[in-house]
Structure formats: structure tokens, C-alpha cells
Amino acid sequence: MSGATSYQDVCLDGPSPKAKVDKQQLIGAQATSPDSIGSEVAPLQIEESHSRTKSETSESLKIIIVSSIVFGIAVLVALIVSIKYAPPQVSLKSAVVVADDKACSDIGIDILKKGGSGVDAAVAALLCQGVVHMHTSGIGGGGCMLIREHMDQETVVIDFREEVSAAPPNITGSVEMGSFVAIPGQLRGLEMAHKKYGQLSWKEVVMPAVDLAKKALVNVSSPTGDLKLLESLSRTLERVAHSGADAVYKGTVADDIIKTINENGGTFVKDDLSNYKARLSKPAAATFHGITVETAPSPAGGPILLMILNVLETFPLSPSNASDLATYHRLIEVCRLTDSLRYVHRLIETIQLAMGNLHKLGDSASGNVTDQLISKQFADELHKKIGTSTHSWNYYTDEPNFVPADIEGTHVFVKTHLGDYVSVISSLGGVAGEQTLSSNGIVLNNALVSFKKASSQGNVYKPGARPTFLLTPAIVHAEKRPCGIQNAVGGSRGSAAISDVAQVILNMVAYSMTLSDAIKAPRFQCTFHAPNVTYNRPLEASVVKFLHEKGHDLQLTVGNATNHVGGVARINETVHGYAESVGGGSVTFGD
């Protein structure tokens, strides 16, 4: 009711029709008053009377206008104060958070309920995962974040990958744990994201992870060493909640990290931590069937993801080309058509060719390299290399000895009730990173292994360099179709994350699958020793037979050996969230 009243008041920028009637009545009354009947009025008296009436009316109008302006300003100030300080009244029916653990996806939704942004929710959930899944994620590691705000219709990338120290250790032949630790980037990246896109205070966003760690100390039966680690980590996170990332990158915690690394073979110098900065950049992007796909640029694997989609687009993908092609991608086990089987061969060959270009990625790769990798012209060139049979690995790459490090990570996806999307990935490198722990409860990464195993023309080992990072997040949206597909998707393990994410996007965009169906469909991965190919779900015998005839050596991978994919999506007016259960994933929807 007050809003309607305010609107009417603000719109009264002149005298009302009622005021005009009153004025005419007043003039008429003067003309017919008893004092004026039968008497003669001098012209000067008439002019004076009219002047006085006009002056009084003008003063009345000024009062009305000034009062309206003052009232409007008061209402505006009241609204601003109400919005800023009143408890948020938020409907979260279309919000969803996907994480590796239910405690973390629940924390993300709770942050949204308090009026937090998608970034607030993602930061809180990721810090939570650093507590419950210390072996794959934590503030001793790094990663990257994609953020797309609905109002701005703009996507940004925050790169917080680990970085080589100013005095790099000799990692050739090294077996000392500390020699593979790079400068951690996670906290600086999360802090940058929060400063730019956060709504709640930093403390409100960090404290849920602190509380979770303290609760675990009380309620969880664990070996003494694990309890000490949790206790130390909870204290460190509490310092971060009050002092920001500086609590880790400067002062006594930073000194302890440097001491721990150098005692185990590292060569960190005093300013390595304090000088670290996260990077803000634009995403690498391409269109696939008229849909925009945005992902993290090099040194992340985003350009290879886009390359796969570009090459796939050169083949006929419409269900009309093979009557059950879409059915095959939903339930590959029941597919029997030769055309569809040929498509599987082409898909595998496309992945092999894309993986053969991984060595071009890296922090030292120029923008021209990325532009070439994601160009439609390059996709046409690769298309011509795909024949009716497979080949040795040398056919697909000019660096056959290149094998990327098999890193693992954890992913958080957020879709807010406002239509914002956040996809953030974090990793320690291998399982439990370098298995090097600081006395402050921080599990340190082994990111420099990516240089030892995968040194190349783009992935150059030098001070300040960031290693190739293949756990690539992606955001998909249809700019010209407001009710079209929108999603954020990503994987958790090495190069398989790139090809798996590409296949999930393919299934959703080209074959109109739901998010869960797209992820549940069988997926193929390249092992860098062609013709070896792995797949993550049982296949129909006829499919295996056909691919063997094409020269593919197939192997089924299950359990922890597979890459785990998750994501959030909106298709038309339906909101989806899915995480593969084998990865222990959890989905929490808003109320």
C-alpha cells in the first residue's frame, strides 16, 4: 500500500484537477459576492485582485512541489535503508548449489538465504570442501572461477592457479616433497571474487567452514593426527575470517609455510607469498549449434574443450541424420545403427586430435595460439584428418612424449534465484597434494609436477609461471533465447575432465538431454597412447565390436579411476542440479 501511495505522490508534478476547479469557484464567488453587487469596481482594483490571487496560487504550487520532492526523497532514503539493513526476503525456488559433500552444498544455499550472492555461496561451499575433503582441495592449492551475472550478461574468469616461486627449485629427478610445492593461490582468488561480487561480509562467508571444522573436532572419531590437523586448520581459517587472505600470505602463517616447504626441498623466498596475485580475465569462448560456450583460457584446458566442440560441429549431429542418434547418446547400450556407430568413432578420433594439441597450452602460450586452437578454420583442418580407422599416437600430435599430470580436484556450481551462475574448481594437484603439511593445518600442493611431467612449448618452467590446469569449468548460455539452455558444468580429474565436459555439453545442446541424462550417458577418454581409449559405463557388445574393428583398444574404467562430472542448469523454466554419485556429489535446492 505504501508503495502505491509513494508512486502517486511522486507523479503529482503540478496542481490537481480539483485545485483548478477550486480556483474557478473562488473567482466566481468574487464576481457574485454581496459586496460586489450593484457596485462599481475600479480597473486598478480588479488588476490588483487578480495579481494577488495569482501570487497566492503560485505560492501554493511551490509548496506542493517542494513538499512532493521532499516526500519523494524521504521515501527513497527509507527504501535504501530498508534494502541495506532489513532482513532479506528471498525466494530461492530456482536456486541450486552442487558440491562434493552435502554439508557444503547446504552451506551454499544457507548463504543465499541470508542474501548472499552466487560468489558468496561458491566461496563458502569451496572453503567447506577444503575441510571435509582435505585430500583434493584447500587453501594450500589453486584453481579458477567462472562468474556470469544475469544483469550484466557478462562472464569473467578469476585465475588463482599456483605459481612458480621467484627462485625455482631443480625439479628434474627430484624426489623431495617440498620441491614440487608452488605458491598457493586459492585464498587470493576467492578474496578477489568476493571483493568484486560479494554481498555478505567476508567473515560471514568464511565462518561456516570454521564452524564445520570445530564441529568435526567434537563429533568425528578420527586418528589423533587428523584431529590436530583439523584443530590447526580451524584456527587458521578463523584468522582468515577476521583478517582476510593476508592472514595466510603475510605474517607468522606465511613464515611457517615457507619454513615447511624449504625444510622439505623447496626454495621459497620471503616475498613469494606476499607478492602473489590472482588474475582477472575474459573467458575463451566459441559457439556450438548457436549456443555460446565460455570457459577458462590457457593455461587452463578451455581452448581444448572448445576445439572438441568445433570439430564435432563439422559432422552432422542432428537426429534426422540417423533416426536414433539422439537415443544412442541417451542410452548408448541400445544403439545399433551403423551411422551412429561411425559417429562414436569420429567422436573418439576428435578427442584424440584435441588431446594431441594439449602441449600447446600453458602460461607462456601466446594469445595467437589460443585463437588458433579455437578457430573454426582449425576445426575444419582437423576434420580432414578423421578417417575410417584409428592411428598411432604420432598421427595426432607433434609431441608424442607429452603426457599431462593426472591431477584431481573439487568443483562447486551455483545457480542463484537471480539467474547468476558460478563455476569454481580447486585442486592440490595429486591426492593430498605433496603430502606436505604446515603446522597451521594447511595441506600444500604439488603443482610443479605439471612442469616435470608435461614441459612443453607453452608449459615453460620459470619464475612466476603457472602450470597447465586441465580441470576446466564451463558456462553455457543462449544469448538470443532468454528461455533457452543455461548451465555450468565441470569435471574433477585431469584431461578426462576436458573431453567429458565436451561430451556433456554435446548431449545437452545437440540432443536436448537433461543435465542428468547428459552426465549419465557413457563417455570416452583419451589415454595419450592411442589407440587406447577408456569409457566409463558398460557398452552394448555391438558397439565394442565395431570400435575394435576400427582399431580402438577399449578399456572400461570404474570407481575412483574415472572423472566425475557435475553441474547446474536451467532448461526452459526447469532448474537442474546433478553430481555423479561415484564422486560423492551433493545437490541442494533452494526452498
The residue among 14, 22, 27 whose CA lies nearest residue 53 is 27
Question: Three-state DSSP class for 168?
Answer: coil
Partners of residue 566 on adjacent β-strands:
490, 579
- How far are the Cα atoms of 182, 390, 395, 435 from residue 445, in angstroms, in the given order? 7, 37, 34, 8
C-alpha cell at position 471: 580441470
Cα–Cα distance measured from residue 487 to residue 507, given in angstroms and rounded to the nearest whole number: 13
161 is in an annotated binding site: yes
Cα–Cα distance measured from residue 488 to residue 366, given in angstroms and rounded to the nearest whole number: 27
Cα–Cα distance measured from residue 449 to residue 390, given in angstroms and rounded to the nearest whole number: 31
Cα–Cα distance measured from residue 577 to residue 237, given in angstroms and rounded to the nearest whole number: 29
Partners of residue 524 on adjacent β-strands:
535
C-alpha cell at position 300: 587452463
Q: Which residues contact 259 (CB under 8 A, 6 or more apart)?
A: none
Torsion angle defined by CA atoms of residues 103, 139, 502 and 452, in that order, rounded to the nearest 10 degrees: -140
The label of the residue with cell 547418446 reads: 329
C-beta pairs of 536-539 under 8 Å, 24+ apart in sequence = 536/562, 536/563, 537/332, 538/333, 539/332, 539/333
239 is in an annotated binding site: no
C-alpha cell at position 184: 598457493
Angle of helix 118-132 relative to helix 224-243, nearest 10 degrees, comes to 160
- How far are the Cα atoms of 23, 357, 450, 479 from residue 393, in angstroms, in the given order? 95, 12, 21, 39
| Centroid of chain to Cα 484 | 19
**DSSP character for 523?**
-
Q: Which residues contact 404 (CB under 8 A, 6 or more apart)?
A: 358, 450, 453, 454, 468, 470, 494, 495, 528
The residue among 124, 180, 167 whose CA lies nearest residue 444 is 180
Question: Three-state DSSP class for 143?
Answer: strand
Annotated binding site: 161, 494
Annotated binding site for L-glutamate: 161, 494
